[in-house]
Chain A
Amino acid sequence: MSTRSSRLAARGMVAPSVVLLLIWMVIPLSMTLYYSFRLYRLLSPDRTGWVGFNNYLWFFNAPEFWQALFNTLALVGGVLLVTVTLGVLIALLIDQPVKGQSFLRILVIAPFFVMPPVAASIWENLFMHPQNGLFAALARGFGMQPILFLEQYPMWSIIGIVSWEWLPFATLILLTALQSLSSEQLEAAEMDGAGAFARFRYIILPHLTRAITVVILIQTIFLLGIFGEIFTTTQGGPGSASTTLPYMIFKQAIAAKDIGRAAAGGIIAVILANIVAYFLMRGLGRNLDA
């Protein structure tokens, strides 16, 4: 029963926080926009001025830009595919009543609490290192040449590392969803003669749709900005084979100290994120409506 005046009062109450949030977002965004049209290099501050769209053009003409764009999307898509698929399977597994179940769950969730640069360092030096790594030792044990993960398959390796980090998150959310599925439904289906696969396909998977949507949306937000793992392992290389858009912006801002170009890259990243978000919400958003 809201009257016009009570709605007005409610709006008045919310206004301060809305204004605050707006400032929170608008000031950095407009500063980035401003700098993206300026020539502003920290190392030669005497040369400044408006440059129109030059900073943007530089990005579009840079040979590594399209690769970086592709890598960014490949990273997001690859990690989502791995984490959701394996997440569902692991959630099904640890949902089974077994001895030491709570301990098992803690073990599965543990990787999520390892900080990204630490996780990347561990993978680089203890697993993938061509001389000292575990994989190299295994390969030599079988009489094979060690695989040069970070040199020959840099993007695959990074997708692997990031997937390892984010798998527990997907598993956790999906497990919670699984636990809310009533066992009576499954038993009824079993009595009607539905096999294990049919039960999974027609009861469990539809039940998980919403949870999967949440996993995809939340992970996409974080995966678009993945930086630490790349910085720690390949530094975007060899060449630009594992350079993503955030890493390319970092290189312009920190290595080249070109604030104008970095700002233009930031705006491009914002636009890319919005495009991805638009398609995601259109494709998946309706799953979230009750």
Chain B
Amino acid sequence: MTRTLRALLGACAVGALSTAAMAETTITVATVNNGDMVRMQGLMDDFYAKHPDIKVEWVTLEENVLRQNVTTDIATGGGQYDVITIGTYEVPIWGRQGWLVSLNDLPAEYDVDDLLPAIRGGLTVDGNLYAAPFYGESSMVMYRTDLMEAAGLTMPDAPTWADIEKAAAAMTDKSKEQYGICLRGKAGWGENMAFLTAMSNSFGARWFDENWMPQFDQPEWKATLDFYLNLMNNYGPPGASNNGFNENLTLFQQGKCGMWIDATVAASFVTNPNDSSVADKVGFALAPDNGLGKRANWLWAWSLAIPSSSDAQDAAKTFINWATNKDYLALVASKEGWANVPPGTRTSLYENPEYAKVPFAKMTLDSINAADPNNPTVKPVPYVGVQFVAIPEFQGIGTTVGEIFSAALAGQKTADQALAEAQAAVLEEMKASGYIQ
């Protein structure tokens, strides 16, 4: 008798537990291991206090591994993740392929009109916002104020490529291992091609014409590559074909570079006195132009999106709204200070007088606003993207062309040979992919 009673009680307890568990939704969030994303994981108490019925599991990965994992999961319909962290390259492609859930129905408090127009434009396909930006960046010139002064030059806020070359020549002193300019040379669509594609925009070059014909045989690309090779061979560090973001960051922090054109996020690293020997001697300027109306700066935003294979889309939307709205920025500011707020997504952040006190805040905003993913270069193009072409094939062809240009920088090929090879390789790939009949 008592045994039956106990069993009944036990069954009731189990039943009560399982209903409680059913009310709680678990979402899996795949994210990149950068500082801003890791910081968010430390602030989750706020989310759980507001949404006790949602449990968040994190999968934190290095950028390339994240990209591989998420791409494989989404392409094979794996359904492993409910929220994924992706960039401005993936969003237009995946949105168009129906792999992402539209975020147009986020609550009014999200205030979608507050997003920076350039960033929002890069994440919207056919009027649907497919990802909520978490952090945005562009690129700009970082230069050594002391070396410029010693050379008797001043850096304009919006320099031209001629200004850059003049400054690079004046600051180079190879006997002291001091090089006028450090630029990316390591092959990869996210390494040297991010820089070179953005640079080519300012020279009026484009990857493809309106009929998807590769344009490496055009004079604009020749001008871009000639200028780049001349700059790097005369004023760049030796062995530059192996230098990517991290290598150049080290060289700049050691005081071996006069100028460095790279991501706006690097500004906080080179001005950090704990890591940088030149922290108090760095100035910032917009990425250079050539008087053609386009600047050589890129646009990137890590953004949160929901794969259509997710089975907890409402909970995922609740999470995205929490992680990317204005309250989150205020939450970070209250706990960690304004300098640590994820930059580059909202107009209201840059209108905030507290945030305006952060050095490089204005230059970051101006750089982001100067990029237009839908009209990246001077002539019309059939693609979206400033420093990339938002088509699935670009990871492959971007890397191939990056290798060819990297070989040209290493002196294995002339600029003409490199451009001819790039043209042939891209043309073949575009035919194989069915863009050109």
Partner-B contacts on A (CB < 8 A): 41-47, 58, 63, 129-132, 145-146, 148, 150-152, 233-241, 251-252, 254-258
**What residues of chain B lie closer than 8 Å to A41, measured between beta carbons?**
392
Q: Contacts A152-B410, A251-B399; is A130 near B239 (CB within 8 Å)?
A: yes
Q: Write 16 A-B pairs (CB below 8 A) sorted by A numbering.
A: A43-B393, A46-B97, A130-B237, A130-B238, A131-B237, A131-B256, A151-B239, A236-B403, A239-B403, A239-B404, A239-B412, A255-B395, A255-B399, A256-B395, A257-B71, A257-B395
In the docked arrangement, what's the CA distance between A5 and B411, Å? 71
Q: How far is the CA of A204 from the CA of B411 in the complex (A)?
A: 47
Complex interface: chain A residues within 8 A of B412 (CB): 238-239, 241
Please report the C-alpha to C-alpha distance between residue A254 and residue B177 in the assembled complex, in whole angstroms. 37
CB distance from A129 to the nearest CB of B (A): 8
How many residues of chain B have a CB within 8 Å of chain A? Answer: 39
Q: What are the residues of chain B within 8 A of A234 when measuring CB–CB? A: 242
CA distance A146 to B238 in the complex (A): 9
- Given known pairs A42-B76, A255-B396, A257-B71, the reply for A151 and B410 (CB within 8 Å) is yes
B351-403 interface with A by 8 A CB criterion: 392-393, 395-396, 399, 403
Nearest CB in chain B: distance from A64 CB, A: 8
**Structural contact, B75 and A237, CB atoms closer than 8 A:** no
A238-B240 Cα distance, complex, nearest whole Å: 10
Asked if B93 is at the interface (CB within 8 A of a chain A CB), the reply is yes
Contacts A131-B238, A239-B412, A257-B392 aside, 6 further interface pairs with beta carbons under 8 A come to A45-B75, A131-B254, A146-B238, A148-B238, A151-B242, A238-B412
In the bound complex, residues from chain B placing their C-beta under 8 Å from that of A152 are: 410-411
Residue of A nearest to B413 (CB): A239
Given contacts A42-B72, A44-B433, A131-B177, A238 and B188 within 8 Å (CB-CB): no
Q: B395-431 interface mask toward A, CB cutoff 8 Å, 1 = contact, 0 = none?
A: 1100100011011011111000000010000000000
Determine which residue in B186, B404, B406, B413 has the highest number of CB atoms from chain A within 10 A of its CB, and name it: B406
Q: Report B229 CB to chain A, min CB distance, Å.
A: 13
- Tell yes or no: B251 within 8 A of A by CB: yes
A238 with B237: CB separation less than 8 A: no
Report how far A257 CA is from B177 CA in the complex, Å: 41
Given A151-B410, A152-B410, A239-B403, decide whether A254 and B241 contact each other with a Cβ distance below 8 A.
no
Report Cα–Cα, A42/B434, bound state, in Å. 16
A129 to B246 alpha-carbon distance, docked (Å): 14
Q: Once bound together, how far apart are the Cα atoms of A45 and B93, in whole Å?
A: 12
> In the complex, A41 Cα to B432 Cα: how many Å?
12
Chain A contacts for B238, CB-based, 8 A? 130-131, 145-146, 148, 151
Is A237 touching B407 in the complex (CB atoms < 8 A)?
yes
Chain A residue, CB-CB nearest to B174: A145
When C-beta atoms are compared, the residue in chain B nearest to A253 turns out to be: B68
Q: Is A150 within 8 A of B239, CB to CB?
A: yes
Name B241's contact: one of A238, A256, A258 (CB within 8 Å): A238
Within 8 Å CB of B93, what residues of A?
43
Considering the chains assembled together, what is the distance between the CA atoms of A241 and B239 in angstroms? Answer: 15
**Which residues on the B side are within 8 Å of A45 (C-beta)?**
75-76
Residues A235 and B187 in contact, CB atoms below 8 Å apart: yes
Chain A, residue nearest B399 (CB): A255
Contact residues in A for B396 (Cβ distance below 8 Å): 252, 255-258
Q: How far is the CA of A235 from the CA of B402 in the complex (A)?
A: 11
With both chains docked as a complex, state the minimum distance between the C-beta of A80 and any C-beta of chain B, in angstroms: 27
> Which residues of B are found within 8 Å of A151, using beta-carbon distances?
238-239, 241-242, 410-411
Instruction: Type the 1/0 row for B80-103, where 1 means its CB is closer than 8 Å to any CB of A.
Output: 000000000000010001000000
